Amino acid sequence: MRPVSGFDARPVTARLEWACKTHAVSEAKKILDAHVEFELARWSGDARNEQLTEEVAEAFAWLGTVKLNQLFTSAEVVDWCTRYAQEVDLTDELLKMIGAAARSAYVVASKDETRLVDLVPQASYETVADAVIDMTELREEITKQITTSEVYSQLMSHVVYQGIKNYLQAENVIARKVPGASTLMKMGQSAINTAAPKLEQAVDKQLTAFVNANIQDNIRESKRYMDKVLDKAVLSAVAGEVWDTNAQATVSELAGLVPVDAVDEVTDAARQAWLSVRGNEFLTAVLTRVVDDFLKQQGKRKVADVLADIGITESLATEVIIDVTGPVIDKAVADGYLEARIRARLEPFYSDYFGES
């Protein structure tokens, strides 16, 4: 005997169980939809700022109970820094972005008429200048390296050579004491050059050889002289002259001293320098010492207190987070992205809770 069309041949208990499950799934979907709508409303409109403010307040309240060294160790921080320094690459695209930003800044600077004195207070300049002047050992090392360089040697040779030659030609005793002697010597020199054109070259060669042979004594004496006269008073006066010369210069005038093409060259050089530094053990050693010392000094303090000392207060953090994340949240709501993520987070719970037992 064939079953009647549309008749459910399952046992009554099975049909009841199926109906209960169907009803439960339907109810679960309604509750899930309501939950998603509720959460989404908390991140929309004015409620968004209230939610962010509340979360920051709760976070700072918790950080007020947690010590810095309870969150991480110095070894972990150093590991993070060194690992990410190695993994994060300065790609060509990133360099292009940096270069474009630098060029944009250069364009603004090249047209800006703000004076240097309006950017850097004179008191700040003088403080930095005094600090540098007090670095006696650094100053002496700089003087030593300059006076022992080949460029300085050539400069000194040129100066001494020109001084001797000019003296012999125009400023010697005879030229000053004997009337007409200077003119006579110049005429004689002209006659000699005409009769023996290579004679002056020979004299120049001999004079140059004499200067070069004795230049090291002059250089050593010049270093001693510089060490003696470049005291704090003199250097302070020089620093003051530098300020007086440049304080009224505009940003555009200073920018004009740097070719625009140099921006890209500096950017590339900075990349090469960073790639070299990040692979050197020196970076790890510095990070280890800095982090160790910092945690020794601050590790037992509450995190909120440390943040307050560096200027990060609850009110500032709230303001920054609202300003930075607010537009992003609004866009995520408008695009449906936030709703999709809330639903994705809640669906597993409702599926498990209202699913098969």
Condensed to tens digits (0 to 9), the pLDDT of residues 294-344 reads 999 999 999 999 999 999 999 999 999 999 999 999 999 999 999 999 999
Instruction: Return the structure tokens found at 194.
Output: 């005409």
d(CA 158, CA 208): 9
**Among the listed residues 111, 101, 89, 113, the one whose alpha carbon sits nearest the alpha carbon of residue 266:** 101
Per-residue confidence (pLDDT) for residue 299, from 0 to 100: 93
Query: How many Cα atoms occupy the beta-carbon half-sphere of 151 within 13 Å?
Result: 2
- Pick the range with the lowest mean pLDDT from 59-63, 112-116, 127-131, 185-189: 185-189
Instruction: Express each pLDDT in 222-260 by its tens digit.
Output: 888 877 888 888 889 999 999 999 999 999 999 988 888
Per-residue confidence (pLDDT) for residue 89, from 0 to 100: 81
d(CA 50, CA 326): 11
Per-residue confidence (pLDDT) for residue 7, from 0 to 100: 45
Residue 115 backbone dihedrals phi, psi, to 5 degrees:
-80, 155
Secondary structure of residue 250 in the 3-state scheme: strand
Q: Tell me the whole-structure pTM to 2 decimals.
A: 0.70
d(CA 320, CA 313): 11
User: Is residue 152 a contact partner of residue 146, using CB atoms and an 8 Å limit?
Assistant: yes
Under the banding of pLDDT at 50, 70 and 90, the label for residue 355 is low
Instruction: Return the structure tokens found at 88.
Output: 């994060």
d(CA 300, CA 97): 41
Instruction: Express each pLDDT in 97-136 by its tens digit.
Output: 988 999 999 999 999 999 999 999 999 999 999 998 898 8
d(CA 154, CA 105): 39
d(CA 115, CA 252): 9
Instruction: For residue 303, count CB atoms less than 10 angstroms from its CB and return exposed for 0-12, middle for 13-18, buried for 19 or more.
Output: buried
Per-residue confidence (pLDDT) for residue 140, from 0 to 100: 83
d(CA 101, CA 157): 45
Under the banding of pLDDT at 50, 70 and 90, the label for residue 199 is very low
The percentage of the chain sitting over the pLDDT mark of 70, rounded to a whole number, equals: 80
d(CA 203, CA 176): 22
Under the banding of pLDDT at 50, 70 and 90, the label for residue 197 is low
| Distance, CA of 247 to chain centre | 25
Arithmetic mean of pLDDT, 71-78 = 90
Which sequence spans correspond to the domains of the chain?
22-66+302-357, 67-114+259-301, 116-249
Instruction: Return the structure tokens found at 5.
Output: 């069309």
